[in-house]
Amino acid sequence: MAVLKKIILRMSLLVLLLIPMNYIYKYFFLQQDLEKYSELINLVKQIPDDADIIYVAESSNITYRSNDQDKRYISEMLADYYTDLKVYDITKPAGHGGVYKVLLQNIPKTSKAKTIIVTLNLRSFNASWKNSVLETSLQKSLVLLKDYPPLFNRFMLSFKAYDIKNKKERERLIAKEWKSTTINFPYTAPYNNIFEWDLWMANNGFRDKNGKKDKKKVQLACSYIKAYGFQIDTNTNVRIKDFDDIVELAGERGWQLVFNLLPENTQTAEKLVGDDLIYLMEHNRRLLVDYYTSKGVIVIDNLNAVDSEEFVDQNWTTEHYAELGRKIIAEKIALKLEPVYPESFNEVTYTDEMKSIFLNNCDGNHVWGHSKTISNTGSYSGNYSSKTGKGNDYSISFEYPLSGIPDSLKNSISISLKAYQYSKEHKASLIVSAKSGKTSNYWKAFRLSSKLNEVNKWEDYKLTINITDKIKQSEMIKVYVLNKSNSIILIDDFLVEFN
């Protein structure tokens, strides 16, 4: 007994010591840990308190097709319908209900947001996504954001208390689910689970004219089966639990919750696999719509909203949409929100208006390539610029289909930008290139050093080039700065003008 008493006394002393430790950690170390291990929090931090609508999504929000004239996000297109409301997005590629839940928990209580739109991605309920290799790092990045004392969260991170599995373990789990989960068709099918279905397709799938197996088509069909061949069980599917938690959180915070059931390429699914797969997709669609509508969520059923050709990836199953697809989704969300914001809603009609001047000052919502280089290290105008060098070889990149430029303005291109170099030890160049498909028709590099004379100072860089016939015949034109050196160059106010 005496021994126990001694042990308990010392344990209590340790617990007492943990309290000041928690404060020391919170005030001196938490911020740097968040920056290091939970960059995700920055996605939440960038949302101002006066945001009205927050759109939470995975890569479907931001992915575009390279020849899209309008490369903006779905959330930005949605904002077109509600110009007097502030619409912001939290986009985390490969995100899913579990990630959104933690992100939403971290929205400050001071936020005035009224509506939260969350993408409901059908594939995120399948075995491959639940056990994706990306999960370990995703789950790790969420540990510090959980709703517990910071020191406890750090303890959980240090002792690896998150879903930590290697690639092989995850593959084993996926295979196990494919083998052990029976699919209940209301009729007799030649397969009872994904494993059998996949095998069936591999053996009986597409043949070419000579009777040989059409491997590419079969592989694609198999990937569709693995992506959509499942039945959601609301009692056991972990995603249901995540979305249920989001519903509960929305109730606590007084948010109007909207689930945006993302479009899937059902046309290709039907063509490649047939009715069995469509039956399951429809079954899951109905289940999700009914289940969450009954919980008071506005569910926007977009499953069949986008035509096959509007999917960016034709050889894989993703929820990446070309311009028209994104516009359709934005419109459907906007219409569904009209009863919530009847006075703010505007009709939007997109015209095929041609543009010839493109400016990116790195502060606004200009969807150019390599926007990840945008940083607040320094800026010529506003707060941000594109930071190149030290591994970031490419600056923000202007990429545009030449078909979107009026013919009368296809004579020359004037490019101007502001550049800030820390040293002259670089061979950075402005690159102008033109391509048709994968064929390069034009590629030319113009050394920045020819016009930049000083260091630690913003300087103008201007260039005009003639649009040659080779460029004119190309589909896409691309302009960017290439800096492969270790010397940083900041780029701002990047202007491309067709004359």
Partner 1 sequence: MLFNTIQFVFFLPLIVIFYYLIPQKYRWVLLLAGSYYFYMCWKVEYIFLILASTLIDYFSGIQIEKKKTKKGKLPFLILSLITNLGLLFAFKYFNFFSESFDLLFQKINISYQFPLFKVLLPVGISFYTFQTLSYTIDVYLGKQKAERHLGYFALYVSYFPQLVAGPIERFSRLTPQLKQYHKLSYKNIVNGLRLILYGLFIKMVIADNLAGIVDQIYSTPDNFSSLNIITGVFLYSFQIYGDFFGYSSIAIGSALMMGVNIMDNFKTPYLARNIAEFWQRWHISLSTWFRDYLYFPLGGNRVSQTRWLYNIFVVFVISGIWHGANWTFVFWGGLYGIVYIIEHIINKFSKPKFSQKSFSFGHIILALKTFVLVTLIWVFFRSQNLNEAFHIFGLMFKNIDVNTAELVVSSMVWIMVLIFILSDLILYNKRFDSWINKLSFPLRWSIYSFFVFSIIVFSGVDDFPFIYFQF
Give me 178's structure tokens.
């494919």
Question: Does the footprint of partner 1 cover residue 187 (CB under 8 A)?
Answer: no
Question: Phi then psi for 392, rounded to 5 degrees?
Answer: -90, 85
Question: Does the footprint of partner 1 cover residue 170 (CB under 8 A)?
Answer: no
- Give bridge partners of residue 91 from the DSSP assignment: 57
**Window contacting partner 1 (CB under 8 A); options: 10-18, 88-96, 227-235, 489-497:** 10-18
Site mask for partner 1 (CB under 8 A), range 204-233, x = bound: ------------------------------
Question: Does the footprint of partner 1 cover residue 486 (CB under 8 A)?
Answer: yes
Among 405, 395, 470, residue whose Cα is nearest residue 435? 470
Distance from C-alpha of 482 to C-alpha of 446, rounded to nearest angstrom = 10
Name 276's Cβ contacts closer than 8 Å, sequence gap at least 6: 185, 189, 197
Task: Please answer whether residues 55 and 74 qualify as being in contact, where contact means their C-beta atoms are separated by less than 8 angstroms.
Answer: yes
**Window contacting partner 1 (CB under 8 A); options: 1-9, 243-251, 310-318, 394-402:** 1-9
Site for partner 1 in 34-63 (CB under 8 A): 37
Among 109, 159, 203, 349, binds partner 1 (CB under 8 A): 159
Among 412, 357, 390, 381, residue whose Cα is nearest residue 491? 381
**Window contacting partner 1 (CB under 8 A); options: 111-119, 156-164, 197-205, 262-270:** 156-164
**Window contacting partner 1 (CB under 8 A); options: 73-81, 125-133, 154-162, 323-331:** 154-162
Question: Does the footprint of partner 1 cover residue 160 (CB under 8 A)?
Answer: yes
Question: Does the footprint of partner 1 cover residue 24 (CB under 8 A)?
Answer: yes
Among 19, 161, 335, 455, binds partner 1 (CB under 8 A): 161
Distance from C-alpha of 146 to C-alpha of 148, rounded to nearest angstrom = 6
Task: Please answer whether residues 491 and 481 qualify as being in contact, where contact means their C-beta atoms are separated by less than 8 angstroms.
Answer: yes
CA distances (Å), origin 303, targets 13, 238, 272: 57, 21, 17
- Give bridge partners of residue 119 from the DSSP assignment: 260
Shortest separation between residue 176's beta carbon and partner 1, angstroms: 13
Shortest separation between residue 335's beta carbon and partner 1, angstroms: 45
- For residue 83, the SS3 value is coil
Shortest separation between residue 158's beta carbon and partner 1, angstroms: 4
**Window contacting partner 1 (CB under 8 A); options: 47-55, 159-167, 307-315, 320-328:** 159-167
**Window contacting partner 1 (CB under 8 A); options: 92-100, 148-156, 198-206, 354-362:** 148-156
Strands 489-498 and 357-360: antiparallel
Among 81, 93, 95, 114, residue whose Cα is nearest residue 333? 81
Shortest separation between residue 387's beta carbon and partner 1, angstroms: 17
Question: Does the footprint of partner 1 cover residue 155 (CB under 8 A)?
Answer: yes
Nearer to partner 1, 13 or 455 (CB): 13
Question: Does the footprint of partner 1 cover residue 25 (CB under 8 A)?
Answer: yes
Question: Does the footprint of partner 1 cover residue 15 (CB under 8 A)?
Answer: no
Shortest separation between residue 21's beta carbon and partner 1, angstroms: 5
Distance from C-alpha of 296 to C-alpha of 283, rounded to nearest angstrom = 20
Shortest separation between residue 135's beta carbon and partner 1, angstroms: 13
Residue with tokens 């996504």: 129
Question: Does the footprint of partner 1 cover residue 173 (CB under 8 A)?
Answer: no
**Window contacting partner 1 (CB under 8 A); options: 149-157, 175-183, 282-290, 297-305:** 149-157
Strands 439-447 and 429-436: antiparallel
Shortest separation between residue 213's beta carbon and partner 1, angstroms: 26
Among 69, 86, 114, 140, binds partner 1 (CB under 8 A): 140
Task: Please answer whether residues 268 and 280 qualify as being in contact, where contact means their C-beta atoms are separated by less than 8 angstroms.
Answer: no
Among 19, 23, 27, 29, binds partner 1 (CB under 8 A): 29
Shortest separation between residue 422's beta carbon and partner 1, angstroms: 15
Question: Alpha-carbon dihedral of residues 446, 450, 451, 457, nearest 10 degrees?
Answer: 110
Among 162, 158, 175, 102, residue whose Cα is nearest residue 136? 162
CA distances (Å), origin 112, targets 18, 48, 115, 116: 35, 9, 9, 11
Task: Please answer whether residues 81 and 144 qualify as being in contact, where contact means their C-beta atoms are separated by less than 8 angstroms.
Answer: no
Distance from C-alpha of 140 to C-alpha of 160, rounded to nearest angstrom = 8
Helices (H) and strands (E) in the chain, counts: 16, 15
Shortest separation between residue 24's beta carbon and partner 1, angstroms: 7
Q: What count of other Cβ atoms lies within 10 Å of the Cβ of residue 189?
A: 15
Question: Does the footprint of partner 1 cover residue 134 (CB under 8 A)?
Answer: no
Q: How far apart are the first and last CA of the chain?
A: 91
Question: Does the footprint of partner 1 cover residue 157 (CB under 8 A)?
Answer: yes
Shortest separation between residue 162's beta carbon and partner 1, angstroms: 9
Shortest separation between residue 193's beta carbon and partner 1, angstroms: 22
Question: Does the footprint of partner 1 cover residue 345 (CB under 8 A)?
Answer: no
Question: Does the footprint of partner 1 cover residue 16 (CB under 8 A)?
Answer: no
Distance from C-alpha of 308 to C-alpha of 314, rounded to nearest angstrom = 8
Among 277, 303, 279, residue whose Cα is nearest residue 289? 303
Site for partner 1 in 438-457 (CB under 8 A): none
Q: How many residues bind partner 1 (CB under 8 A)?
A: 29
Nearer to partner 1, 101 or 154 (CB): 154
List interacting residues with partner 1 (CB under 8 A). 3-4, 6-7, 10, 13-14, 17-18, 21, 24-25, 29, 33, 37, 136, 140, 151, 154-161, 164, 168, 486
